[in-house]
Amino acid sequence: MDFRHLQPYMRDMTLPFAKMHGLGNDFVVIDVRAQPVAMTEGLARAIADRKTGIGCDQLILIGGSEQADVSMRIFNQDGSEVEACGNATRCVPLFVGRDVSIETRAGVLQAGRSGALVSVDMGEPRFGWDEIPLAYAMDTLAMPASWDDLPSPTAVNIGNPHVVFFLNSIEATDMARLGPIIEHDPLFPARVNVNFAQILAPDHVRLTVWERGVGFTRACGTGACATAVSAIRRKLVHGPVRVSLDGGDLLIDWTPGGRITMTGPAAHVFDGTLDLDALTAGAA
Known catalytic residues are: 85, 220
Give the separation between CA 180 and CA 203, rounded to whole angstroms: 29
DSSP 250-261: EEEE--TTS-EE
Give the separation between CA 110 and CA 261, rounded to whole angstroms: 10
- In the chain, where does DSSP find H-type helix? 7-10, 41-48, 86-96, 175-183, 221-233, 276-283
Give the separation between CA 148 and CA 252, rounded to whole angstroms: 30
100-104 vs 70-76, strand pairing mode: parallel
Distances (CA, A) of 113 to 4, 116, 173, 249, 280: 42, 7, 37, 17, 36
Q: List residues bridging with 156 in a β-sheet.
A: 162
